[in-house]
Every structure is written in structure tokens, then in C-alpha cells.
Amino acid sequence: MTMVSIIHNPRCSKSRQTLALLEERDCEIQIVEYLKFPLNKSEIEDLLTKLGLSARELMRTKETEYKEQGLANTKLTEEQLIQAIVDTPKLLERPIVLANDKAAIGRPPENVLAIL
């Protein structure tokens, strides 16, 4: 049985679909509700490394908070963008599944199958 973690928002349909997909695969699942228990800086940095993405690529750019905080500013550093995700967890793209020391974003949900 594969042990997986899902960075999950139960109100998000893609997150729920990804969780259902993992349940169908008989995975042992640790659910991390990141809005209730926000990730810290090192956890986000670890995600970025495993995903091979920049902080901006991991952000939900259509969120009001993204615009209100001026995060589209290209002069912002990676460090500043990571801190914005720490301070405003809603900005984190979701769902993210971690398994076998790899990570994948469940958009679409089937993306996560590659790391199981």
C-alpha cells in the first residue's frame, strides 16, 4: 500500500476528485487541510523542489488576494512570493499529492497517478 499525503481543500471539487482517485487506488492517505493547518516556509520550499516549480507557478493567480497584495509584480523575489503563500495559504494551488518522495498537482486529478 502506497503512503500518500494530499494537500487538500474539501471545498474544492478538484481536490475532492483527487482524494476520491487516491481512495480508489487503496492508498494510505494523510490529509493535510492546509487552510486549517498552513504550511511553513520549509514545507513550501520542499514542495517547490519536488514539483520543479517556482513559487509564482504554485500560486492561484486568480485569487483576489493575489491582486490585492500586488503579487503579479515581477520584481518580487522568490523569497517574497514564498512568504506570501505562508501568510495567505489560500494562494497555494491545490490539490498537491506527495508520494514516493515526489509531488504532483491534481489538475486534472489524473496527474497524480504518475507518482504513485
Q: What is the pLDDT of residues 11-38, one digit of tens each?
A: 999 999 999 999 999 889 999 999 999 9
Report, at the CATH architecture level, how domain 39-92 is classified: 3-Layer(aba) Sandwich (3.40)
Q: Which of 2, 6, 7, 12 is catalytic?
A: 12
Domain residue spans of the chain = 1-34+94-116, 39-92
Q: What is the pLDDT of residues 48-66, one digit of tens each?
A: 999 999 999 999 999 999 9
Known catalytic membership, residue 27: no
70: region left, alpha or beta (phi > 0 left; psi from -120 to 50 alpha): left
> Is the pLDDT reported for residue 1 higher than 90?
no
